[in-house]
A and B are shown apart, each in its own frame.
Chain A
Amino acid sequence: MIGSTDAAAVKLLAKRKRADRIFRAFCFFAASLGVLILILFLYKILIDGVGRMSWNFMRTNLSSRPARTGIWPAIVGSAYVMALTAIIAVPMGVAAAVYLEEFNTRKSRLSEFIQLNIANLAGVPSIVYGMLGLAVFVRWMALHESVLSGALTMSLLILPMVIIVTQEALRAVPKGYRDGSLALGSTYWQAIRFQVLPSAAPGIFTGIILAISRAMGETAPLIVVGAAAYVSSIPRNVHDRYTVLPIKIFDWAGEAKPGFNQAAATAILVLMIALLLLNSVAIYLRARARLRR
């Protein structure tokens, strides 16, 4: 009798273990699918795009003939819009985070409301920011379809992200840094300026670079605020018309001529290389900060 229940128990255990192995295999498949897709992605884009990749392609103006077109105005446009976006959004975002984390340590109802609002803003679809920019910057402030209106729109888009990452970096600074500085007789602002911000800097920079690289791939809001698909010359000042890399990719991918589709893949390569460069700066900064500690 005892023997038979033992056999049943052993059988049941084997069954449960088998179920566990199958479940594990499913989970492993799901987790590695992302890697597989990433490899497919890169492979597809390399195959399609590497043929057109050349210095010449990067430095040539746009053309309506697929074989002769380059990408230079879009590269300049992207760099221009992103630089301006960073100049606007970074000081504002860092200042807002300093206010929320450092100046307002007694959590008031207002700062709680601001905090909730920032979390909500981070979830607003990017295209809605485009509509805000269209109504406020392009129309109401009459900036028209310029680099400036595009950069202002992008600044609003990445502002919540900059604030959130800066807050996280500030929170990671040990409390002792502030207390030590205050104990030596500094004012609170001096403690923030000379102790807290410098030691939070690597974290802040990493976050900002990630925010900028997200903005760099963002397309929808810029289309809504009127970034052109075709510009004949590169933008020279903030009031000029402009195009950016993702918009060129969108435009070329939708074209009927295969030559343009190929150019789109090459433009994707250019964009991804730019993103890779930006992110390696972030990784470098993080590594250097770790070494110094």
Chain B
Amino acid sequence: MANATPSPDSQPIAPGARFRRRFRPRGLSEGVVKWLCFVCALVSILTTVGIITVLISQSIPFFKAVSPADFFTGTVWSPTPEPGKFGVIPLIVGTLTITVGAGLFAVPLGLLSAIFLSEYANPKLRNFLKPTLELLAGIPTVVYGYFGLFFVTPLLKHVIPEIQSSNALSGAIVVGIMILPLVSSLCEDAISAVPRSLREGAYGLGATKMEVTTKIVIPGALSGIMASFILALSRALGETMAVTLAAGSNPVLTFNPAKAIETMTAYIVSTSKGDAGVGTVRYNSIFAVGVTLFVFTMAMNLIAVRLVKKFRQVYS
């Protein structure tokens, strides 16, 4: 070893002192490696900074042309005939329609399925059901869009004959299917964090499995379950391809689920693949919509993180 000076590693460790492993680069090349790794870790922070900078700086020209008040309170979104009207409410309502609809579908089913997997199913059945649900989660979102357009909507046509070929209901259903595995697996994590002893105590008092589940397990895992709902809903909120295909690109303010609508994400996609010239108000509007979308999802994610932290503290 070329190291002449004794490294701190060779100092004797006092008896009883906790040995703390810590990376100490030896020689120039190991120092370089450490710095390279550090730089790579910094890229993730740069990404966040980049996202925020880009969204804000690129939407400033838009807000110079359209006042924020008009943007956030306007109820008409029709960018195409110049100068265009940019009221984001229809897009927000469209997005929330899909999110709430998907939640109505996926939240009860996901929770029940998590209960079945963790409380009722025998290991054999569980080992079959769980990977299958994971497969469902691995299907690309654009395929869900195809499924909505060519399977769910024709099916719905039997029930609602006047339904449009792209419609909010079909979009909500496919997005619901999409987030179902997520709700199920996150809920299951939360449920399995409830200590076994609590269940045993209730069984000892003569409770049935349903009573144990609804009165002990679910209340015990409630904040974790809530967090998983919120995380899944924030996925639904940011979902793009499935809703663009299945729910359409028709930015009208409607609460009729049989009509085509447009979500914020669908607007960004259809505008950026279209012919909007760089620098036009319409082109810049995608960044303003992007800011709105980003704020919505970030808020939901932060709430979920808070809840998860809270529920971890309960049992550890």
Contact = CB atoms under 8 A, between A and B. Distances in A.
A135 to B, nearest CB: 4
B139 A96 contact: no
B300 to A, nearest CB: 8
B238 A217 contact: no
A132 B138 contact: no
B50 A253 contact: no
B77 interface: no
Contacts, number: 270
B120 A27 contact: yes
Interface stretch (B60-68, B81-89, B207-215, B250-258): B207-215
Interface of B: 20-27, 30, 33-34, 36-38, 40-45, 47-48, 50-51, 54-55, 58, 108-113, 115-117, 119-121, 129, 132-133, 135-136, 138-143, 145-147, 149-151, 177, 180-181, 184, 208-211, 213-214, 231, 234, 237-241, 244-245, 265, 268-269, 272-273, 278, 286-287, 290, 293-294, 297-298, 301-302, 305
A99 B40 contact: yes
Interface stretch (A60-68, A219-227, A285-293): A219-227
A261 B245 contact: no
B116 A121 contact: no
Contacts of A160: 44
Given A34-B129, A188-B23, A250-B145, 9 more contacts: A28-B120, A30-B116, A31-B133, A96-B43, A105-B21, A111-B41, A125-B297, A219-B241, A249-B142
Nearest to A33: B109
Given A128-B294, A220-B269, A103 B23 contact: yes
Interface string A31-61: 1111101101100110010000000000000
Contacts of A28: 116, 120
A102 B23 CA distance: 7
Contact of A16 (B55, B113, B211, B265): B211
Contacts of B210: 16, 19-20, 23-24
A95 interface: yes
- Residue among A16, A123, A126, A163 with the most chain B CB within 10 A? A123
Contacts of B48: 117, 120-121
Given A31-B112, A265-B146, A219 B293 contact: no
